[in-house]
Amino acid sequence: MPVLFTKEGLEKRGFITSGYHIPYNPALKERARKLRKNMTKAERKIWYECLKKLNVNILRQKPIDNYIADFYIPSAQLVIEIDGGNHSADHFKKFDEHRTKIMEAYGLQVVRYKNDDVLNNIEMIYSDLKRRIQSWKADL
């Protein structure tokens, strides 16, 4: 395990490491609260028309490491990211790749959907997430 992910390494970085939660930077808590109160159009749509129907505990704007995940399903260890048009720029792609690697280092699976897909094809996203959760439940 890389030093960054040991309990000592995480504590040196100032992260909360209770053992119950995935380590996170406590300085992100207030920003996450603000983001929960100000969801984007795509985040609102996926939350109300898809995620609430899945019948699992889902957290919005969850701090993980030095990042804030759009949605997180703790029981399935699944992070859901909604990517706007700016995520196609090279510097955002690299940032997203790094962020995904960090989250995967904690044993999380990251799934990304584009804003356009959320806004125009929510049924496909619902089916995909339902399949992923059923697959996770079958693995128990």
pLDDT for residue 4: 60
The pLDDT > 70 percentage for the chain reads 89
pLDDT for residue 89: 58
Query: How far out from the chain centre does Cα 67 lie?
Result: 9
Q: Does pTM surpass 0.95?
A: no
If one counts every other C-beta atom within 10 angstroms of the C-beta of residue 51, the result is: 19
Query: How far out from the chain centre does Cα 112 lie?
Result: 9
CATH code, 3-138: 3.40.960.10
